[in-house]
Amino acid sequence: MPPLSLNGAVVLVVDDQPANVRLVGTVLTDAGFDVMPATSGEQALARLKHAQPDLILLDMRMPGMDGFEVLQHLRRDAALADIPVIFLTAAAERELVVEALEAGAVDYLTKPFVAEELVARVRAHALLKQYRDRLRKAIEEREHMTSVVAHDLKNPLFNISLSAEMLAESAADPDRVKTMAGIIAKSSKRALGFVERYLERRADIELRRGFEPKAFDGHLLVRTCCEDIESHAAHKSQRLEYRLENVDPVLADADAFGVAYGNLLSNAVKYSPAGAVIDVIVGPGRPGTVRFTVADRGPGIDEAQRDQLFLRFARLDAQPTGGESSTGVGLAAAYREAQWMGGELWHEPRTGGGSIFVLELPVAPMAPAGADASAPA
């Protein structure tokens, strides 16, 4: 995990005396901070609409909007509520310090202040904010990965359950038994792979390792995803129809692609009626990109709900057509993995009914002569 750094941390200094703003600004600038000056509460709030500092030094007593009013505005705004505020107060106002701390300030300094004390307190609270932000992000990433693995285990487990039922009904047919046993073995291996990759990704999060993209054959990525969904589609008498154009290798991660495109395929099967044809399309996208499209003839997405489409735990009006469960995390996971790979994911309504989902990924840089695009593991 990289060490925390305050180089370039931004401090908003709010004081109605321009001389005080300049003095505090000079001390903090010399200590390596960037300073946003404001000479009134109103000006401070206006500046916060365009930039968010790491910490605020706020004069308690100002004409017009005083420090307490500014602090109330901050605490009511979810985007600003977590910014630490240190009050600047005259020695004679120390009886108001308890009130200030109860209102949400993290600390206070009396004027005239000692430069070293000012820098030390600002540094300490800015570092604490960085620790809190890092912890919050780590928790969000872990929750995301837990949701993804729980959601993506459903498809292989569904295949195992379905194949086991069919196996019990076909005990007298050796060829059918062999086919069903193969599906069970493959789906079990796939489920274990999801768990292993979840543990690996958790380790990546803890080590703060970044995305290491590789060049992949887009057709192979798609075929791998479709292998896991074809038995589910066949159970509903559905058919996947492929239109795979010649495209350049894409810059991607095999696991992330499996989550993103696999969820699009799974939803298409889940929400399409029995006997439907689901189009699986690979072709050129915008310059420098490749598009991976899934088009279905399901109920489509109501226009009023399209803004919620990629939100986690969003539940839409459409219901699965085969009694499958819906957790509300699949599309959110797909969207996040698409962004993680440097791509984009969006929805389009389909003429005549249904939905079109498009995953667009960047083309991989030209590989050295003799090098082949990777195949997913």
In a domain, 2, yes or no: no
Q: How much is the pLDDT for 2?
A: 46
Cα atoms in the 13 Å half-sphere on the side-chain side of 129: 24
Say yes or no: 75 and 161 in one domain: no
- pLDDT (tens, 9 = 90+) of the chain, 377 residues, equals 444 456 678 999 999 999 999 999 999 999 889 999 999 999 999 999 998 899 999 998 899 999 999 999 998 988 888 899 999 887 666 677 788 888 888 888 888 888 888 888 888 888 778 877 777 776 777 666 666 666 666 666 666 666 666 666 666 567 766 676 776 766 666 665 666 555 555 545 444 444 556 889 999 999 999 987 888 888 899 999 999 999 999 988 888 898 899 989 988 998 999 999 999 999 999 888 999 999 998 888 888 787 778 776 555 656 777 666 555 567 888 898 888 888 899 999 999 889 999 999 999 875 444 455 666 65
Residue 206 pLDDT:
43
Looking at the structure, tell me whether residues 238 and 370 fall in a common domain: yes
Does 80 lie in the same domain as 36?
Answer: yes
Same domain membership, residue 324 and residue 375: yes
Q: pLDDT value at position 39?
A: 94
If asked whether residues 243 and 326 sit together in one domain, one would say yes
243 and 349 together in one domain: yes
State whether 216 and 316 are in the same domain.
yes
Looking at residue 144, its pLDDT comes to: 66
**Does residue 362 lie within any of the structural domains?**
yes
First CA to last CA across the chain, in angstroms? 28
**Cα–Cα distance between 258 and 291 in angstroms, integer?**
15
State how far the Cα of 332 lies from the Cα of 123, in Å rounded to an integer.
Answer: 37
Tell me the pTM.
Answer: 0.51
Tell which of 194, 210, 226 closes a domain.
210
Which among 136, 165, 183 is the end of a domain?
Answer: 136
CATH number of 271's domain: 3.30.565.10
Per the rule left: phi > 0, alpha: psi between -120 and 50, beta: everything else, 31 is: alpha
Total domains present in the chain: 3
Side chain identity at 318, as an amino acid letter? Answer: A
The pLDDT of residue 207: 40
Q: Do 228 and 368 fall into the same domain?
A: yes
The reply to whether 144 falls in a domain is no
Q: Are residues 229 and 360 in the same domain?
A: yes
Q: Which neighbouring-strand residues pair with 283?
A: 291
The CATH number linked to 34 is 3.40.50.2300
Sign of CA dihedral 5, 8, 109, 49: negative
Range of the domain at 279: 212-377
pLDDT the model gives residue 255: 83
pLDDT score of 370: 47
Residue 147 lies in a domain: no
Can you give the C-alpha Rg of the chain in angstroms? 28
Alpha helices in 208-320 (DSSP H): 218-235, 254-271
Sign of torsion over alpha carbons 73, 77, 79, 84: positive
